Structure formats: C-alpha cells, structure tokens
A and B are shown apart, each in its own frame.
Chain A
Amino acid sequence: MKLLTHNMLTSHVKGVTKGYPLLIKATEVKVNEVEFNPQFVSRMIPKLEWSALVQAAEELGHRQDLPGELVADYETNEEFLKKVHRILLEVEVLEGCLQCPESGREFPISRGIPNMLLNEDEA
C-alpha cells in the first residue's frame, strides 16, 4: 500500500463519523523506485489531505523533513516535489494493519493489500 492510496482510504464501519485518517501500524515497509514526474506530483498535491499525509509518513518513520504545512510556490520547487514523490509513490507498506481512529477496528495489510472488508455486523 502506497501512501497516496492511504490518503484516500477511510474507515466505513457502521456508525463511525470520524474514520479518517486511518492509523498505520506497519511491520514491513519497502522503498521502490518509481519514475519521477513533477507535473504528476504538483497536480496531485491539491487533491491530498496534506496533514494526513504527513502524519502517515511520520508513522512510518519516513517523514524526513517534510513540512507540516505546504510551502508556497511548491509547483516549481523540484526538491520539494521529489520529497513528495517519494512519500506518495515510493514508500510502501507490505505488512501491518490500518486502524480506524474512532472504533479501533483493525484492517490487516498483507502483501501490500489492505483488506477493508467488513463483517456483516459492522457494515
């Protein structure tokens, strides 16, 4: 699971109103090489929940010096874009789980695949 995906995932357990962002408990993390495309990154940033991204990076120990708030004129700041690129696409959680911040329900991650299926009573 990449952090870009994590940024979109929420808990949908019945009755939960604050199911985002999911907490990450990773037991195995991998870093891949993905081709850098500055336009991709700069256009993606407005679609993200920035604080959730930073929090997730922090939880994985890969935050490095990612700022808590977006810098001005990030579109042309290639160094910044590269940092974002790395955290969005290159860091992957292979094993672990995602936890609903409200209910505490854990969704396992195995082989990089989060299992978000709910039991009948939770749906």
Chain B
Amino acid sequence: MSSQEDESAGGGSEPAEPSSSPSTEIGTTSGDIITVTIGATVPTGFEHTAAEEIKEKIGVDARISKDRGRVFFPITTDKLFQVHLLRSVDNLFVVVEEYHHYQFKESKEETLMELQQLASTLPWTNALEVWKQNGTLKKKKGHRRGGNTAKSKPNCEGVGGSMASTEQQELPQENSAPEGWAGDTQAMETSTQDSDETGHGSKLIKFRVTCNRAGDKHSFSSNEAARDFGGAVQEFFQWKADMTKFDIEVLLNIHNEEVVIGIALTEESLHRRNISHFGPTTLRSTLCYGMLRLCKPQASDIILDPMCGTGAIPLEGAIEFNHSFYVAGDNNDMAVNRTVNNICHIQKRRADKGSMSGLPIDTVQWDLCSLPIRTSSVDIIITDMPFGKRMGSRKKNWDLYPSCLREMARVCRPGSGKAVLLTQDKKCFSKAISRMGGLWRKQHTVWVNVGGLHAGVYLLKRTGAVFGQTPEDVYESRGLTLVFSLV
C-alpha cells in the first residue's frame, strides 16, 4: 500500500457478540487531583513555539511527537483551565493511551479484531474524568471558540448549568474547505439543549470516533479502523453513536507505529478565534501567534503589517503581546474595513466582559511599495505575503517582492529591526533576498503548511546599514548576464 493519509469518523457498527459492559457512569473520583497527558495539535512547523508557550504558561516540558503538528504534555486536573489559555494550539485532547511501537498484525482482519479488543482494555477512567471536568470549565468560563459548522451549541456566557435558551452566536459559520470565502458575520441559530451535561449516569452519552491514519504499512483504512474501534467502544460503554450531535469525540490517531487514543477537549478548532469578518485568505490565529512569538515582541516595539488583509496577525499581537504597538495596513478598501470590523468586534467583546476595551492597534490604507512612514521608525515587520496562488500572481511577485523588501528595509530600524515574513513563493523570495544582503540577513526559517500549501516563515534581521547607501539597493539598470565558458 503506498503511503497515504486519511481521516474518517465512524459512529460504530453492529457488535460481533455481546460482551459485558461497565457501568455507564463516568468518573466518580471527582474530588481527587490526577495527572494526565494532554495532546495538542499545532500548526506544522511551530511545534517548538508551542512547547515554549506550554513551558511558559503551564510550567511543564512538552514532548514533540514524530507525527508532525502534535505536542504532548502532562498536567494535573486542578490546573486544567490553563490549557485553554494556550494561543499556539489548534485542538486539545486528553490521552487515554499511547503506543509508540504498536505492532500491527499481518492481516487486516486480525488487525481490526485487535483494535476492537483494545477498546475494552484501555484505561478510560482518568481521561473521562478530565473530559467531564473540561465540560464544566467550558460552561463556567464561556471561553472563546472558533467557527462552527454543523454542530451548534449555545455560547455559554452565563452561569453554569444547563442552558435551554437559544443564543445568537457571534462568530460566523466556518466553511469545511480550508480558507474558503466565508463572507461576513452571520447570525446563527443554536440548538436548544446544551447536551454537554456531564456525569449523569441516567443520561445517554452520544459519541463518535474520528480516526487519522498515516503510514505505508497499514493494511486497513481509517474508515475501517474508526468503524470497528467505534463499534467496540459503543458496545463497551453502551453509548449512542452520533456523527453530528455528540458529547464525546474519541480520537484514534495512527501514525506509522505510533498509536494514540484520546478524547477531544475542544469542539471546534480554536484557530479562528479572533476573526469575525473573514477574507479570502485569512490566516488562522494559531499561525499568527507562532509568527509573533518568533519575533519576540518587546515592550514599546512598533510592529507593522503592511499587507494585513483582515488584520489577523496584528490583532493577535495586540491581544497577546500587548506591550507593543501595531499598525495594520493594506491598499485594499475591503481589507482595511474588515480589519477595523475585526478590531471593533474584539473591543466590544472585551467591553462586555467589563475590561478596558482599547487595543494598541491602528489601521491605515496605504501602498506598501511606497509607505507613508518615516524612515527607520519601525521595529518589526510581520506579514503574510501574497502567495500568487489565491491572491496576486507568480509573475506579479517577481516585481512585488523586491520592491516590498526594499521599502520594508527603509522603514525598519537599522541594527535592531526584524522582519517575519510568511510566503509560499519561496523561489521568488529567496531570489529577492539574495540581492539584499546589505539590508537584510536571513536568520531562521520555519517550514509550515498553510491550507495545504507548503510555505516558509522567514525571520530576517535588518542590518546596521543605512538605507540608500548599500551597493545593492541602488537600482540596477544594466542587467547584464556574464557567461563563463571553458575553452
């Protein structure tokens, strides 16, 4: 079988034979503090950034999995709320069990049978206890969530307890296709019953299994694994399978020989948390956070995003690294208006919670090749450069990139200035940079995946050279090519 990755969700299948099942009550050890392992999915390439944040905010060392885009760390249940403060993670789950060198059986039938048997032997108790506590946390805090698809749950701003009222959800419906055009904010009807009721043995729990599988040597597909494993889980717990309105999402992650079974703690990805007004290429907030961490914003740093689009990067900065000042700019009418809308949305949300709403951010409409900014007045430039696939074009990039980089070098403070630039057009970028050694030095590159495209996040340092005096930044009008030949 050639290497393939696939993902599928299963709700369960007909059980092979009846087996004894445990009590349907989940967790009776609610008073004790237990230690569990939490798994987090992060934008590929930013695993180390996530580990740094975890160390900083939770105080533990995270382990980076061989399965890219995943990190694991231990936590005690009394500190569980801290995981929801993490800005670099897309999704969180609690680990039920991990196998680093799972030996799959030769045949498909045997492998799947083994997976089924696994279900009843796994140490579910602690993970389920954490799931339960996490449900309580979410009710109390009403913490932010990203866009919502088929499932609709009330936005829990009120006090805990079951909420039967419908409530307008502020955040828009997110398309299932990544980075699709999502348009403006839509009001969303929410379902009446909050089915996150926890710990009641009498209430029927609904679940589904999601399987992610990657690797060459598996004899089965993720569909089959989800189906069979799901069936066994259903049999074991006597839960009801439901693909869309589930209480518990069981995760079965198989990456070559690494198998991780977990229970999801986040319903939707947290990655679009700040943005209510999407544009065609809005970057997910976790990626924005990763980029910001890379440049280590200091107090009073002036940080520019000269191609801000909907303002995702500077907005994340204004919230999370609020000791700096952000100027978001774009030449496009819709973009600057969307940016302001997004900023207002966040400010209103803060005001509603009773905190000071003002954010250290401003928006300007400008042409980035001719910035109306004083020379050497900016500390950091951070932006998502047009890839040329969904916006602009490859041909345009050949001219755009060098002009951009020069203008950015002009406004950036010599010596201490930095730039963090995301682009998929690596060839064009490298070429443009190679011609500017007098102004910019490449310091570090992070390879990431943005909506299925392989991109690079380049960390550049502004050299100490004064703009306009290096040999390279004088426009070359000659364009001669020298051909060497060996006679």
A44 to chain B: which residues have CB within 8 Å? 300, 325
CA distance A114 to B329 in the complex (A): 10
Nearest CB of chain B from residue A113's CB, rounded to whole Å:
5
Other-chain residue from B302, B331, B356, B363 in contact with A8 (beta carbon distance below 8 A): B302
Contact B362 A123 (CB under 8 A): no
Is there a chain B Cβ closer than 8 Å to A20's Cβ? yes
**DSSP majority for the A interface?**
loop
Interface of A toward B, CB cutoff 8 Å: 1-2, 4-5, 8-12, 20, 32-35, 37, 39-41, 43-44, 47, 49, 89-90, 111-118, 123
CA distance A9 to B370 in the complex (A): 12
Q: A37-B299, A37-B323, A113-B340 are in contact. Are A8 and B377 (CB under 8 A)?
A: yes
A32 to chain B: which residues have CB within 8 Å? 357-358
Contact B370 A118 (CB under 8 A): yes
Residue-by-residue, is B334-356 near A (CB-CB < 8 Å gives 1, otherwise 0)?
00110010000000000000001
B299 to chain A: which residues have CB within 8 Å? 37, 39-40, 43
Is there a chain A Cβ closer than 8 Å to B455's Cβ? no
Q: A8-B327, A20-B374, A89-B358 are in contact. Are A117 and B365 (CB under 8 A)?
A: yes
Q: A40-B300, A43-B299 are in contact. Are A113 and B363 (CB under 8 A)?
A: yes
**In chain B between 456 and 484, which residues have their CB closer than 8 angstroms to a CB of chain A?**
none
Nearest B residue to A107 via CB reads B372
Interface of B toward A, CB cutoff 8 Å: 299-300, 302, 322-323, 325, 327, 331, 336-337, 340, 356-360, 362-367, 370-374, 377-378
Contact A35 B358 (CB under 8 A): yes
A89 to chain B: which residues have CB within 8 Å? 325, 358, 360
| Residue among A20, A47, A90, A113 with most chain B CB within 10 A | A113
Contact A35 B356 (CB under 8 A): yes
| Residue among A1, A8, A34, A44 with most chain B CB within 10 A | A8
Identify 7 new A-B residue pairs, CB closer than 8 A, beyond the known A40-B299, A43-B299: A4-B362, A8-B377, A33-B358, A35-B358, A43-B300, A116-B367, A118-B370
B331 to chain A: which residues have CB within 8 Å? 117
Nearest CB of chain B from residue A89's CB, rounded to whole Å:
6
Q: A47-B377, A89-B360 are in contact. Are A112 and B323 (CB under 8 A)?
A: no
Contact A2 B302 (CB under 8 A): no
24 contacts between A and B (CB under 8 A): A1-B364, A5-B327, A8-B302, A8-B373, A8-B378, A9-B373, A20-B374, A34-B358, A40-B299, A40-B300, A44-B300, A44-B325, A49-B374, A89-B358, A89-B360, A112-B362, A113-B337, A113-B340, A113-B365, A114-B364, A116-B367, A117-B366, A117-B367, A118-B370
> Which 8 pairs between the two chains have the least Cβ-Cβ distance?
A34-B358, A43-B300, A32-B358, A116-B372, A5-B362, A44-B300, A115-B365, A116-B366
Nearest A residue to B304 via CB reads A8
CA distance A40 to B303 in the complex (A): 13
Nearest A residue to B333 via CB reads A115
Nearest A residue to B365 via CB reads A115
Contact B370 A123 (CB under 8 A): yes
B371 to chain A: which residues have CB within 8 Å? 12
CA distance A112 to B337 in the complex (A): 10
Contact B300 A39 (CB under 8 A): yes
Contact A33 B323 (CB under 8 A): no
CA distance A53 to B357 in the complex (A): 24
B336 to chain A: which residues have CB within 8 Å? 113
Nearest CB of chain A from residue B359's CB, rounded to whole Å:
7
Contact A39 B358 (CB under 8 A): no
B300 to chain A: which residues have CB within 8 Å? 39-41, 43-44, 47
Contact A40 B323 (CB under 8 A): yes
Nearest CB of chain A from residue B418's CB, rounded to whole Å:
15
B362 to chain A: which residues have CB within 8 Å? 1-2, 4-5, 112
Contact B377 A111 (CB under 8 A): no
CA distance A47 to B358 in the complex (A): 22
CA distance A9 to B356 in the complex (A): 27
Contact B325 A33 (CB under 8 A): no
B364 to chain A: which residues have CB within 8 Å? 1, 5, 9, 113-114, 116
Nearest CB of chain A from residue B345's CB, rounded to whole Å:
14
A5 to chain B: which residues have CB within 8 Å? 327, 362, 364
CA distance A41 to B302 in the complex (A): 12
Contact A34 B356 (CB under 8 A): yes
Nearest CB of chain B from residue A26's CB, rounded to whole Å:
15
CA distance A116 to B306 in the complex (A): 13
B356 to chain A: which residues have CB within 8 Å? 33-35
Other-chain residue from B357, B367, B377 in contact with A118 (beta carbon distance below 8 A): B367
Q: A39-B299, A43-B299 are in contact. Are A33 and B372 (CB under 8 A)?
A: no
Other-chain residue from A111, A114, A116 in contact with B337 (beta carbon distance below 8 A): A111
